[in-house]
Structure 1
């Protein structure tokens, strides 16, 4: 097999054109119906079999000419509820919806990988499974693919995300915890209504809830191992009905990011304990509801070693640069519960093209020169893993 980057360059315009088509027609999580149709059209042209799963996801299969292991490659494809403020020619035509996280490029790179792999399938030993995944932004898509049996028999899993922390032509493939897990917690305090002129005859909840909010960061400082970072943020504080009515109810919406199971559990128990203690101190009731959004993402050392060698083949020596861990979350982590995996950060920073903004920004743009690298890396990793 010849140099994979050279192969990717030969279909670069195909990948870029497909990415621009998706960018022009973005669709929100679990509503990627046109996106699914377009991918199926291309897979049909390539002769790559697939099945629909979940709401709009696809699982495609490329079986090699020889028996062997199974590797899964994943590309997400949902957009965000953002009003795009770029001046590109292929700007979103779906008002209020934008591919502001690069999932259009992720899907296009995976399609490019499907094209290259389908052309060399007779040389492959084993199977490459391709996950065109819906709903990453709401952490629903990976679970749907897993529930549909997508990870059955998979020996390794690989994915990537475009990031501006690195310039185009660089990549970050690092072992260990790479992205945080995310939990939402809803804390509700219940007291007794009364007139604002006589708070002693009622049981206010706004003051206790305020005390609880100021107390939260003490949990981070005093209950969680400082070597394992955690972030607790109160995003919503809702209490009371009007100025002269003592608030019977106050509810807080909390977002929590963590890496290790130990730090996560310590924080959850701390939040429950503090809410209960403060409620008891003010003679009111408390309730804490936990909603898991995503688990932390851990790159397996063995798979990272293989992917790092693949990166050398594609990018060259010295182009794998370790970035700091991200407190953001990714549902790619759910695949890693079923098979060892690695998640790479693919650089797209290019100031001359204004490709400088982080995901979820209304002026988000990528350097499309990065797409050939991602396409080649998908293919190179699949080949390298299956050949071991």
Structure 2
């Protein structure tokens, strides 16, 4: 099932792939601002002879129809995200360090884009042998969890039979591949709560309703939503990440705003936590004589890998790189909007390790010192291409 021409093409183009990644790393663009990256991808695919179109306002969809596709040929989609983060680069000694102050590819999307371009180039080499179609999705705005949904709305998976994505992962060793069936990434939601009390002089609390006390009480008590109302076998996290309260040291606060996130894998648990946040907020406020207004914003769905697709990734990885590369990574509470593709078609999402202490590439994603062990990119690029080849040849 492994195509040796793909393997050789990836090796032959490894240096070019690394240079593409370094170019993108030095020129990061934030979510929905990836105009230069979009143009670069369009030009690269066009030079390969791959038909492509820009999506609005950024993003690219390309398609390579195999010479043996026929009427019964299937279509497999390969996805890479392109956006950077509002993070200050701390690796200033790198020759390819970010040129944009306060912006950085701190999650590996530069590598994803370069890997998928290399995979596309390798598949063009065997175009006449492909018994189906490969669609290349270069997605914007993953970091704000809106890009995949927009791509789906613009036809990214119309006519697609299977979707596959990869994320470079600094938490596991370089070259390792993890893709277990079932939950992979959690759903990621946002909640915002406004507590209203009655302000007044700090020396006369009896005439006031202190919004800071209401909000603080909520923050302390809300963890019991998970610890005491959710089945312990259903993983969930409720985190309050931001609190804004008060205006002056001697003024009792009338208003308090908090923001946080909810992560879980089970839809019923998700519904339950949303309801409980409303109950906890309203009742906590009522105890002190205040009120609460809750806004719950659903973000990404949980990424649930289809069994057959995940097993195909494991098979392809073992055949291409040896069984030792397979890594049993536990599901993460991180969010990934690849879930919106899996809502439409079967597929899976794999992690390719790039953690290497000797190269200082073990830093957590979104950290200012995050970097990619570029040796891992060959693994990622080949996994993209070999998965497409294997799926179409099933």
- TM over 0.5: same fold? yes
Q: How does 1:12-51 map to 2 (within 5 A)?
A: 12-51=14-53
Matched residues in 1 for 2:215 and 2:369: separation? 37
* Structure 1 residue 75 corresponds to structure 2 residue 80: yes
Q: Secondary structure at the match of 2:74?
A: strand
Please list, as runs of the form range in 1=range in 2, the aligned pairs for 1:286-365 lying within 5 A after superposition: 286-365=292-371
1:273 Cα deviation after fit: 0.6
Gaps in structure 1 of 5+ consecutive residues: none
**SS across alignment from 1:345:** strand
Distance 1:283 1:298, change over 3 A: same
Q: Which moved more, 1:55-64 or 1:277-286?
A: 277-286
Matched residue SS, 1:169: coil
Contact 2:196 2:291 in 1 (8 A): yes
Could you tell me how far apart the structure 2 residues matched to 1:173 and 1:325 are? 10
Could you tell me which residue of structure 2 aligns to residue 208 of structure 1? 214
Mapped partners of 1:144, 1:207: distance in 2: 41
Query: Partner of 2:190 in structure 1?
Result: 184
Query: Could you say which residue in structure 1 is the equivalent of 2:269?
Result: 263
Kept in 1, the 8 Å contact 2:42–2:53? The answer is: no
Give the Cα–Cα distance (whole angstroms) in 2 for the partners of residues 350 and 202 of structure 1. 56
CA contact (8 A) 1:7 1:376 kept: no
Secondary structure in 2 matching 1:272: helix
**Counterpart of 1:235?**
241
CA contact (8 A) 2:25 2:97 kept: yes
**How far off its partner does 1:4 sit?**
3.5
Q: Quick one: distance in 2 between partners of 1:194 and 1:167?
A: 57
Find the counterpart in structure 1 of residue 89 from structure 2.
Answer: 84
Structure 2 segments unaligned to the other structure (5+ residues): none
Does the 8 Å contact 1:162/1:346 carry over to 2?
Answer: yes
Per the TM alignment, residue 329 of structure 1 is displaced from its structure 2 partner at its CA by: 0.7
CA RMSD of aligned residues (A): 1.4
Deviation at 1:3, TM superposition (A): 5.5
Does the CA-based 8 Å contact 1:5-1:373 persist in structure 2?
no
Contact kept? 1:187, 1:253, Cα under 8 Å: yes
Q: Give 1:58's match in structure 2, choosing from 36, 51, 60.
A: 60
State the TM-score, normalized to the length of structure 2. Answer: 0.95
- The two structures have a TM-score, normalised by structure 1, of 0.97
Q: Is the 8 A contact 2:6 2:123 kept in 1?
A: no
SS at match of 2:237: strand
Q: Does the 8 Å CA contact 1:195/1:244 hold for their aligned counterparts?
A: yes
3-state SS of paired residue (2:110): helix
